[in-house]
Every structure is written in structure tokens, then in C-alpha cells.
Amino acid sequence: MYENLVIDILKEHGISHIASIPCDKAKDLCFMLPDHFDHICLTREEDGIGVCAGLALAGQRPAMVIQSSGLGNSLNAIMSLTKTYDLPLPIIASWRGVEDEVIPAQVPFNAAIPKILDATGIPYTIVHTNEEFGKIGDVIDDAFVHSRPHVALVLPKAWEGAGSCREECPPPSRVRRVAVSYERTITEPVMTRFDAIRVIARHLGEQAVVSNIGVPGKELYAARDRPLNFYMLGSYTQASPLGLGLAAGTERDVWVIDGDGSILGTGILPVIGARQPENLTIFCLDNGAFGSTGNQLTPAYRDTDIELIAIAAGFRHTGKARSEAELATVIGDLRKGPNFVHVLLKPGNAAVKNIPLSPHEIRDRFAGAMKNPR
């Protein structure tokens, strides 16, 4: 089976983790990945960019396996996270829309992929047949040697003659019992986001911390700058995916300071719920607004209970806090995760300065601190 050859190449080139969403053309490879690698099954390709960034910062060697259309979902995250911080990211993409394609919707974006990648400066290598699968190893090596994304575009003919798919194998049982008893009273918040961040900062020890983009990162820097803080300078929705990648790549506790808009915009919560990382805590600082862009209201302001979403996604422990005392109590009671702390806040931003660190400075001191023993 040609899929075995790809598995061997991934192993030979040191890949430790795979984040993936399946493609019909490479379905057998996608079936096999969980048997050979620490596998993270995504619900949206863009989240895989954050997951792999976290894994790379934790010293691991991740790769993504996706359908090429997923590159469209991921371009901004690749440019604002992977390229901004110069992180390694090999992507094996089943290239649709260009070779005997029968689905019209696959053609417009996928046919333009080489020009799009050229325009963004993302290296790519075309794999025409299974005899060229060795190029995937070159893609992996280039991504890690040069700390950059590199895409292998694998045409459908490369999979012709492969073995039969596992569709004939019965799936595991879905039998389970779901019991949820939930009742909360949402009262008027008394804290701002900066108040909450200062409480979190006072409880920091050896945790790795990821802060959401915009003002939250600036507020964390003002409250307590430390090498184990990773400041997101871009990549809306990618703080929690990056935190999951870190948690998957280290035994160190990982705390993510995320926001209601960002959490509502990502598909990572069920991925976290399925993986059950015991060392991951998500702080959703919910001011019901897009705080960095003028405090326009989000659905969380009056209508959506994000803690309930986390419960449905499978988080082991969840809780709410609306005051500094309540937040301190919740932090003191944290247990093995995944934990989700829903912090209700008033809209508003502190008058804080920009973070005076370049992306490389943030990356290098954080990765260095991650190597230090706890």
C-alpha cells in the first residue's frame, strides 16, 4: 500500500504529531494516521495551524495532513502565525480541483493554489505520482531546516492503485450516557478584563501561558511579563488551538487567556474535549465584546453561555467567576483538566502600551523557557 510508504517517510523524517482532516482521495492514509502518530483530529483546518505552532514551540515535530481546499481556510493563520514567528510547518495536502475533478466547487480555489502560494511566498512541491512520494521527505526537511511552512501538493494519481479503504470495518460503539444538570444566574459583571488578567498573573508559577491577540496580550505584558508568556500578535481564534498544541507537546501546565469572540469563532473546543489534555486550562475572558476593535458586542453578551458550550464539548471541569475573589477561588480549585473557566467581565480596555518585543524575541525566549525543567 502506498499509504504505508508515506507513513514510513513521515516517521523517517521525525514527525511526532499529525493534525488532520480527511480527504476522500487520501482516505486510507487518513485512516492509518492515528495508528502511527500522536494524532489530533481537527474540525477545521485553520485550527491545525495553531495546534502545530504550539507543538513546535514545545519542541515537537508536527505536520498537517489535509485536503488542499483547507489551505483557503488557513492562509491568514499561516501568514500571521507560522510565518510571522518563523515556525516550521510541513503540510501534506491532497490536491483537488485540477485532475479529473468531478465536484465543480473544488475547482475555483484549488486550481489557483500555485498562484496563491506564490503570491504569499509559501513554498510548495507538487507530487505527481507515488514514485515521487520521496518529495514529501524533502518538504518536511525544508520546513524544519528553514523554520517555515512548506506544502506538498499531492495529485490524485499518486493514490491510484492503493489498497482498499477501511469502510468495511465496523466503527467502534457510540453507546454512552450523557447527563447534564446546569443552571446559572448571570449577574452584572464587576471586573474588567485587566482586573481578571491581574488575578491570573498573581497565580502564575511554572505554567506556560498563551494570550489572545490585541489588547489582552498588552494587558498581560503590563500585569506580569515573563518568558513563559506567549503573546499572540495576530491569528484571530488561534490562542486556544496553540494552547492545545503546547499541552500535547509538554507535561507542563498550559493556561490560555482567550476571549468570547475568539472562542465562538473556533472549532477547537470539541477537539480539546475529545483529547482530554489534563494539563490544559482555558480562561475565557468574556466581556461580551470585541474589545480590541471598539467593544462591538458579541453573541455572548446576552444570548450565548460559553460555559455550556464547553460542557457540551466535553471539558472535564468548568466554572464561572464574576469577581476577583471568585476567580481566585476557581484558580485555587483547579484540578486535572481540561478546565474551562468562564469569566464574566465588563467591556473596556486598560490604557496599556504595546508589547516591545519582536515576534522572534517572543518565540525564542518562550521556546527557551519551555526547555527549562519545571
Say if residue 373's pLDDT is above 90: no
Co-location of 207 and 348 in the same domain? yes
**How many domains are contained in the chain?**
2
pLDDT top residue among 169 and 38: 38
Co-location of 244 and 329 in the same domain? yes
Determine what percent of the chain is predicted with pLDDT higher than 90: 86
CATH code of the domain containing 43: 3.40.50.970
| Coil, helix or strand at residue 318 | strand
Any idea which of 70-79, 184-193, 322-331, 352-361 has the lowest mean pLDDT? 184-193
Co-location of 199 and 293 in the same domain? yes
Co-location of 232 and 351 in the same domain? yes
Upper half-sphere CA count for residue 178 (Cβ side, 13 Å):
7
Q: What separation in angstroms does the CA of 318 have from each of 9, 115, 180, 182, 276?
A: 41, 45, 12, 11, 13
Q: Could you report the per-residue pLDDT of 319-341, keeping only the tens digit for each?
A: 999 999 999 999 999 999 999 99
Co-location of 83 and 217 in the same domain? no
Co-location of 153 and 197 in the same domain? no
Reported as a pLDDT band with limits 50, 70 and 90, residue 159 is confident
Residue 209: what pLDDT?
A: 98
Say if residue 1's pLDDT is above 90: no
Asked if residue 63 lies in contact with residue 39, where contact means CB atoms within 8 angstroms, the answer is no
Q: What is the DSSP letter of 82?
A: I
Q: Is the peptide bond before 123 cis (omega within 30 degrees of 0)?
A: no
Residue 374: what pLDDT?
A: 61
Asked if residue 256 lies in contact with residue 240, where contact means CB atoms within 8 angstroms, the answer is yes
Q: Could you report the per-residue pLDDT of 255-303, keeping only the tens digit for each?
A: 999 999 999 999 999 999 999 999 999 999 999 999 888 888 899 988 8
Residue 102's domain spans which residues?
A: 2-168
* Residue 28 counted as domain residue: yes
- Copy the grid coordinates of residue 217: 496580550
Quick check: pTM over 0.85?
A: yes
Q: What does the angle CA 9 – CA 122 – CA 92 come to, to the nearest 5 degrees?
A: 30
* Residue 131 counted as domain residue: yes
Co-location of 220 and 280 in the same domain? yes
Reported as a pLDDT band with limits 50, 70 and 90, residue 170 is confident
Co-location of 135 and 230 in the same domain? no
Co-location of 271 and 153 in the same domain? no
Co-location of 269 and 164 in the same domain? no
The residue among 168, 183, 213 that closes a domain is 168
Give the mean pLDDT of the chain: 94
List helix spans (H) across 99-214.
107-110, 113-120, 134-145, 193-202
* Residue 179 counted as domain residue: no
Co-location of 240 and 359 in the same domain? yes
Asked if residue 215 lies in contact with residue 350, where contact means CB atoms within 8 angstroms, the answer is yes
Residues in the chain: 374
Q: What is the DSSP letter of 287?
A: -
Residue 162: what pLDDT?
A: 56
* Residue 299 counted as domain residue: yes
